[in-house]
A and B are shown apart, each in its own frame.
Chain A
């Protein structure tokens, strides 16, 4: 007999207007609450494989890692909100399969959930290091609360930390560690840090920031093996040298969890493929968050984004679609990263730029980089420049592209950029 959990009572006929959400991260939780906000009256069941309430992941490599945020502050909403909104949260529950024909979700343990609407918010998992010795318990990842708990005991001043990977997670971890007095080395296989997500000016800037803070940062450096000595690890690199470490944190990207969708016959294309309304290739199945790939009108191609904004906006769109409303997901992407005293705010997607121009002076630790492709503004990175970030979001959302001369001119306030575009309506307060 299966344990008498809430699951075993779920015998809704498929015709009942219920929604099952697989994955209780930012997107899953948002979808559940947005369904209620949109007036959805049926049962809402949110299934997550972690033991806690849905939580925010960005602080895991920032304030939470730094010990500045209690765990309860990570929760997207306290339990009371789920109770009040009548959202059934199944924690520590693993979905083993989806049967789209029978409209059923199969849980580990044998229980099934019938669904009328199914939301796939399965997220992703940290890409694993694949070299000899990578299974040592001192090798950590930073995707879940459990991951952070597992490394906290060794995350103390004086310890030698080696970070593998020069993306946001790696650099944020290095920044927190350096501030806490750990001896930090960052090894990056690619030629620059933030290689996929920023242009060269921003990469150079953050490289210098980390080195100034005492971080040993080495690019073009791949790990060939991890060897366990009695008290520490030795990390061998392809450059012929080795580094000693008391602990390792690996931040080499995310692999979207697509297996459930693929096994169910839902089309995937570097992510669970949706249309602009969050619908998948099979009826009444939707996807949102890190696992989903959506068609971007702004970039004229599919995007799979790993960000809070993407999770929240896609989930709102999915909830609206389930409620029979039309709320296409068209917002320009945006993102933030906090390192040391710096707030990096990005709007748009950098990849594919052929021109980048800098507004302000990186030496002042306050500047913005505007990226263009074929003369069209596609993205902005703003470091301690929130006004430029805000202007960039509005420009990208409206499809406006001020010239590179305009955006470099500090005499023109960012709020006035839109008005400089030929054919743009002047902003009322300045017209």
Chain B
């Protein structure tokens, strides 16, 4: 089972990628040559370098943040209420069509 996810760069460039269910959006970005997501800690929620903003339409479809993700996001540039860490967003059927924005800071 796969879903479609669109990454939009700060300059407006859009990339639609197919993501296997269960794969997190940080790994999916790496697998699909999506720039702007560093993921220095390898996806263990320790570094906040995979910051993305989630389109408001999707915010309530995502599982709620764990405390660690919420805390770590304080280290991301210009965090706002759409901010998430891509490594903590796992592809699932209800997220088919998800749109996330990569911030300028990580480029």
Within B41-59, which residues are at the interface with A (CB < 8 Å)?
A: 41-42, 44, 46-47
When the two chains form their complex, are residues B68 and A386 in contact, meaning their CB atoms are under 8 A apart? yes
When the two chains form their complex, are residues B41 and A81 in contact, meaning their CB atoms are under 8 A apart? no
When the two chains form their complex, are residues B30 and A77 in contact, meaning their CB atoms are under 8 A apart? yes
Question: B96 within 8 Å of A by Cβ?
Answer: no
When the two chains form their complex, are residues B75 and A336 in contact, meaning their CB atoms are under 8 A apart? no
The residue of chain B having its C-beta at the shortest distance from the C-beta of A56 within the complex is B42
Total chain B interface residues with beta-carbon distance under 8 A: 18
CB-defined contacts of B67 to chain A, threshold 8 Å: 386-387
CB-defined contacts of B68 to chain A, threshold 8 Å: 343, 386
The residue of chain A having its C-beta at the shortest distance from the C-beta of B46 within the complex is A336
When the two chains form their complex, are residues A84 and B75 in contact, meaning their CB atoms are under 8 A apart? no
Min CB–CB distance B47 → chain A (angstroms): 7
A415 to B74, CA, bound (A): 10
A88 to B62, CA, bound (A): 39
Contact among A336, A338, A387 for B71, CB-based, below 8 A: A387
Contact among A78, A84, A390 for B72, CB-based, below 8 A: A390
Total chain A interface residues with beta-carbon distance under 8 A: 27
A133 to B27, CA, bound (A): 42
CB-defined contacts of B46 to chain A, threshold 8 Å: 336, 343, 345
When the two chains form their complex, are residues A59 and B42 in contact, meaning their CB atoms are under 8 A apart? yes
CB-defined contacts of A273 to chain B, threshold 8 Å: none
Question: B64 within 8 Å of A by Cβ?
Answer: no
Contact among B33, B38, B41, B42 for A80, CB-based, below 8 A: B33
The residue of chain A having its C-beta at the shortest distance from the C-beta of B107 within the complex is A37
CB-defined contacts of B60 to chain A, threshold 8 Å: none
A343 to B47, CA, bound (A): 13
CB-defined contacts of B74 to chain A, threshold 8 Å: 387, 390, 394, 415
Question: B31 within 8 Å of A by Cβ?
Answer: yes
Min CB–CB distance B44 → chain A (angstroms): 7
With known contacts A37-B107, A78-B31, A336-B46, A389–B41 Cβ distance under 8 A:
no
CB-defined contacts of A393 to chain B, threshold 8 Å: 75
Contact among A58, A74, A386, A387 for B41, CB-based, below 8 A: A58
When the two chains form their complex, are residues B40 and A308 in contact, meaning their CB atoms are under 8 A apart? yes
Min CB–CB distance B61 → chain A (angstroms): 25
When the two chains form their complex, are residues A78 and B40 in contact, meaning their CB atoms are under 8 A apart? no
Min CB–CB distance A382 → chain B (angstroms): 10
When the two chains form their complex, are residues B31 and A58 in contact, meaning their CB atoms are under 8 A apart? no
The residue of chain B having its C-beta at the shortest distance from the C-beta of A80 within the complex is B33
Question: A312 within 8 Å of B by Cβ?
Answer: yes
Interface flags for A41-81 (1: CB within 8 Å of B; 0: not) read: 00000000000000010110011000000000110011011
A84 to B33, CA, bound (A): 9
Min CB–CB distance B46 → chain A (angstroms): 4
With known contacts A386-B67, A415-B74, A336–B33 Cβ distance under 8 A:
no
The residue of chain A having its C-beta at the shortest distance from the C-beta of B74 within the complex is A390
CB-defined contacts of B75 to chain A, threshold 8 Å: 390, 393-394
The residue of chain B having its C-beta at the shortest distance from the C-beta of A64 within the complex is B42
Min CB–CB distance B94 → chain A (angstroms): 24
A336 to B42, CA, bound (A): 12
When the two chains form their complex, are residues A336 and B40 in contact, meaning their CB atoms are under 8 A apart? no
CB-defined contacts of B42 to chain A, threshold 8 Å: 56, 58-59, 73-74
CB-defined contacts of B27 to chain A, threshold 8 Å: 73
CB-defined contacts of A77 to chain B, threshold 8 Å: 30
Interface flags for A76-117 (1: CB within 8 Å of B; 0: not) read: 011011001000000000000000000000000000000000
The residue of chain B having its C-beta at the shortest distance from the C-beta of A387 within the complex is B71
Within B12-44, which residues are at the interface with A (CB < 8 Å)?
A: 27, 30-31, 33, 38, 40-42, 44
The residue of chain A having its C-beta at the shortest distance from the C-beta of B38 within the complex is A312
Contact among B31, B44, B71 for A389, CB-based, below 8 A: B71
When the two chains form their complex, are residues A309 and B40 in contact, meaning their CB atoms are under 8 A apart? yes
When the two chains form their complex, are residues A308 and B71 in contact, meaning their CB atoms are under 8 A apart? no
The residue of chain A having its C-beta at the shortest distance from the C-beta of B23 within the complex is A73
CB-defined contacts of A80 to chain B, threshold 8 Å: 33
CB-defined contacts of A390 to chain B, threshold 8 Å: 71-72, 74-75
When the two chains form their complex, are residues B107 and A336 in contact, meaning their CB atoms are under 8 A apart? no
* 9 shortest interchain CB distances as A-B pairs: A386-B71, A336-B46, A387-B71, A386-B68, A390-B74, A56-B42, A390-B71, A80-B33, A312-B40
* Beyond known contacts A56-B42, A73-B27, A312-B38: 14 more, CB 8 A cutoff: A73-B42, A74-B42, A78-B30, A78-B31, A308-B47, A336-B41, A336-B44, A343-B44, A386-B68, A386-B71, A386-B72, A387-B67, A390-B71, A394-B74
B residues lining the A interface (CB < 8 Å) = 27, 30-31, 33, 38, 40-42, 44, 46-47, 67-68, 71-72, 74-75, 107
CB-defined A-B contacts under 8 Å, sample of 11: A58-B41, A63-B44, A74-B42, A77-B30, A80-B33, A81-B33, A84-B33, A308-B40, A345-B46, A386-B72, A389-B71
